[in-house]
Chain A
Amino acid sequence: MPPKRTARLLRNMPMSEASDPFKRELLSVLPNLRAFAVSLCGNSDRADDLVQDAILKAWGAQDRFEMGTNIKAWVFTILRNEFYSQARKKGREVQDSDGLFTERMAVHPGQYGSLDLKDFAKALTQLPEDQREALLLVGASGFAYEEVAEICGCRVGTIKSRVSRARSRLLEIMQIDGEMDFGPDKSSASSTLRSFV
């Protein structure tokens, strides 16, 4: 675990709370897991419910987790499966079209061009779920393609192609919305994987 993150987590809680190894491991991945959930759902209430379900499932299944192996990938797999199974159960579109990152997302001043974070988050939610999750897992959660393939239960090549399509599509959406000027050469959108990780 990166020392920085550990320090930040320990500041958040009394020492006794971090005593159980499984719990400590779980806590260490929670911030990133939650960021993934929020970005995936585009809605923080739903994301937090999802995170809660994932915590409960992971806790209940901790006997099946081997300490020292990759808990992050394990918990992300649980959350992802939960996301899709809930979506199926509810028989509705996975993606909410309203209330995307609305009130809660602080509007950060646009550092790059005119695109602020809220607009970016909104563009992200317009991607198909499989592309969005692949992009998030590789580009922000810090997983290797092989790990993402395992989390999503598909081949590495499939993940690479999803990430690539996600990036191209994202650029299209942002350009259509006129949120951002990418400069003269837009064709580089397709040569995504090289510089991404």
Chain B
Amino acid sequence: MPHEHAGKSKERLNGQNDPNRIISKKLKELYSAVEEEGIPDRFLSLLEKLDAAEKNGAPAAKHADE
């Protein structure tokens, strides 16, 4: 890794316009946009059903391909 970068170069890399920094920020924004939607109901109720089935002694979802 080129740690010899210093001075202006380093300053630029740490700056707002560093492409890598922008990519990192964009990736996180993208994730946040999805995460902010919360967990969709279909998944909450799916887990609830799986949990209930297990507690009732029914066979758990061993064959989950369906």
Contacts and interface: CB of A to CB of B under 8 A. Distances in A.
Interface residues of B, number: 43
B31 A39 contact: yes
A194 B1 contact: yes
B26 A34 contact: no
Nearest to A180: B22
Interface string A9-34: 10011000100100100110011101
A191 B47 contact: no
B64 interface: yes
B58 interface: no
B13 A35 contact: no
The binding surface of chain A is classed by DSSP as helix
Contacts of A139: 23-24, 27-28
A117 interface: yes
A52 B19 contact: no
A23 B47 contact: yes
Contacts of B5: 191
Contacts of A62: 60
Nearest to A181: B17
A135 B30 CA distance: 13
A124 B33 CA distance: 15
Contact of B31 (A9, A35, A60): A35
Given A31-B39, A183-B17, A60 B60 contact: yes
Given A27-B47, A30-B43, A139-B24, A56 B17 contact: no
Given A60-B60, A195-B18, A195-B20, A120 B43 contact: no
